[in-house]
Amino acid sequence: IMAASKPVEPQSGTGLPRWQLALLVGTPIVLGVGAVYLWNRSRTKERKGTGERKTPEGSASPVQGQDGAARASREQENMSPLDRAQAAKNKGNKYFKAGKYENAIQCYTEAIALCPTEQKADLSTFYQNRAAAYEQQMKWTEVVQDCSQAVELNPRYVKALFRRAKALEKLDNKKECLEDVTAVCILEAFQNQQSMLLADKVLKQLGKEKAKEKYKNREPMMPSPQFIKSYFSSFTDDIISQPLQKGEKKDEDKDKEGEAAEVTESSGYLKAKQYMEEENYDKIISECTKEIESGGRYTAEALLLRATFFLLIGNATAAQPDLDRVINMQDANVKLRANALIKRGSMYMQQQQPLLSTQDFNMAAEIDTRNPDVYHHRGQSDGGHKMAVGDFDECILLRPDSALAQAQKCFALYRQAYTGNNPAQVQTAMDGFEDVIRRFPKCAEGYALYAQALTDQQQFGKADEMYDKCIELEPDNATTYVHKGLLQLQWKQDLDLGLELISKAIEIDNKCDFAYETMGTIEVQRGNLDKAIEMFNKAINLAKSEMEMAHLYSLCDAAYAQTEVARKYGLKPPTL
């Protein structure tokens, strides 16, 4: 179902999520968790090393003999309080490097006591060094306390902020951990991979926790008619999505027309099909329920249609028992059972249960070998890996006129070539797109997928033309306007036109979560964090799966963390 709403963003060839790679190279626009963090477009020089420093600051003093110690004691009497504090710190560093952390802590404590309070920079260093020793002892509460003292004295102390962030993560205080690591990312201009990875990790954990709770109690919501039609059009061998046949009425009783009409009137399933044709989708689940409860002749079909609409409104819990029943009906039409397996397999993939998903797709292929939908949807769920191309090939073999499968095969080939950094194969895939749009000029998806590949290849003008073709073919498809809006930002840095197109998408379909998500991302990049959070919350309420909702919560939490960092430290990333 998600495939009908928006494409999956490819991974980079480095193995990093695309958002991180984009931040590192300063790409103007990127969607995903990292897009919510701003980056300096005039790229700062990359810092060497990982940014992790286990040792405290300052050099360790040389090892002294007994005579040296006595001389040092006499000298210390003549030293200023700050010099004596520095000497204690240096002694602590020596113990730290020797792994004698308790001794190091005593020395740093002495340094803190000796240091004049007006010497804030030095005092913050001593607290940070003691925190480093506590970190080695895994005393996370003490680490947080000392780092807090260091940050109070020096609010932009990156090392203390990052050490506190790591300790807060250990204490399972994700919210404050995120704020600290957000400050670190901004101060380091997003050049340190380690702090970015911690931010990503915490955002994903927070997103999953919040989505789990919210999704359980959400109000089911019917998606837009365009989304529903797009979803059903991805099945070509599906009994329940076919238009109402005259035979379905006449077969009730060919000799008694009046009686046949009466039976038809009482069939919840046939009424549900009628509502499908009228795009009166809200009434379908209740009519299917009538058919199921009366034990009508279309019980299997009604179960499958009801399950499909449960999936469409995001209620997988209600859909699964219906799908299970259809799959276990040995005497039901094999097409119905195969379709139920495809939908359950796709549902499992969304729930991140790939083994169960694979089992269902394989079973569907066994019971209905020549069903192109099995291979088409398995190819989609495979996420563009090598198996996907083989599945699309099988689908095309069974149904050569399937424009959708042809286009998606090209995109799968393109993604393989792109992530594998193979220019020759990239060109082959691009030529394949040209062939698809020539042979299937009425397939909007072909133009849309080609446009995404062209955007990757920086061929912005041609990508824009492809989106115009999509809009011409499907003027009610809000997603296309969002992609075209993003293109204007990346291509011409035209913020006004980009926002105008995305606003148009919301006007066409006020349930387009992708539009709200993108609008939120852009508002972050404009520095309008409160507006961004409002947009992300709208998208959260429209999310079609728990996984998608978790991603949106991550974006929202990232934006909120930036508002807190701006309030506490006056830190704001550069805006577009």
Count Cβ atoms below 10 Å from residue 52 Cβ, excluding itself. 12
Whether the Cβ atoms of residue 61 and residue 132 lie closer than 8 Å to each other = no
Q: Is 333 helix (H, G, I), strand (E, B) or coil?
A: coil
Q: For helices 495-508 and 513-526, give the axis angle rounded to 10 degrees.
A: 150
Give the C-alpha separation, 148 to 317, whole Å: 45
Residue 544's CB is within 10 A of a number of other CB atoms, namely 21
Distance, in Å, from the CA atom of 91 to the CA atom of 269, rounded to the nearest integer, reads 83
Task: Give the whole-angstrom CA distance, residue 200 versus residue 554.
Answer: 9
Which of these, 553, 499, 504, 507, lies nearest to 525 by C-alpha position? 499
């046939």: which residue's tokens? 270
Contacts of 377 (CB under 8 A, 6+ apart): 234, 342, 345, 346, 361
pLDDT tens string 471-499 = 999 999 999 999 999 999 999 999 889 99
* Dihedral of alpha carbons 25, 31, 36, 41, sign: positive
pTM of the model: 0.79
Q: Is 189 exposed, middle or buried (0-12, 13-18, 19+ CB in 10 A)?
A: buried
Q: Which two tokens stand for residue 323?
A: 């799908």
Q: 267-272, long-range: CB within 8 Å, 24+ apart, which pairs?
A: 267/291, 267/296, 267/297, 267/298, 268/292, 268/294, 268/296, 268/302, 269/296, 269/298, 269/301, 269/302, 269/305, 270/244, 270/298, 272/302, 272/305
Q: Read off the pLDDT of residues 129-141 as tens digits, 9 standing for 90 and up.
A: 999 999 999 999 9
pLDDT value of residue 570: 86
Name the 3-class secondary structure at 544.
coil
Q: What is the sign of the dihedral through the CA atoms of 195, 198, 204 and 205? A: negative
478, 501, 480, 498: which is closest to 489 by C-alpha? Answer: 498
CB-based contact 160:144 (threshold 8 Å): no
For residue 14, the Cα-to-chain-centroid distance in whole angstroms is: 18
pLDDT less than 50: residues of the chain? 1-35, 38-53, 59-65, 250-264, 384
Q: What is the pLDDT of residue 181?
A: 96
In whole angstroms, how far apart are CA 248 and each of 68, 245, 271, 298? 104, 5, 11, 10
Check residue 69 and give its pLDDT. Answer: 56
pLDDT at residue 75, rounded to an integer: 60
Residue type, 534: E
E strand map for 73-218: none
- Are 377 and 342 within 8 A, CB to CB? yes
Which tokens go with 457? 């290849």
Residue length of the chain: 576
Query: What domains does the chain contain, in order, with CATH numbers?
Result: 79-217 (1.25.40.10), 225-243+267-382+453-569 (1.25.40.10)
Q: What residues contact 106, with CB distance under 8 A and at least 6 apart? A: 92
In the chain, helix, strand, coil percent, each to 5? 70, 0, 30
Cα 482 versus chain centre, distance: 17
**Spatial distance between the Cα atoms of 310 and 302, rounded to a whole number of angstroms:** 12
Token readout for 46 is 């990359």
pLDDT value of residue 476: 92
d(C-alpha 391, C-alpha 378), whole Å:
7
- In whole angstroms, give the CA distance from residue 380 to residue 287: 31
Tokens of 551: 């991603």
Q: What per-residue confidence (pLDDT) applies to 219?
A: 84
CA dist., res. 536 & res. 555, Å (int): 7
Residue 389 corresponds to which tokens in the numbers above? 């191309």
Give the model's pLDDT for residue 81: 94
- 3-state class of 167 per DSSP? helix
3-class DSSP assignment, residue 303: helix
Give the span between the Cα atoms of 233 and 404, in whole angstroms: 9
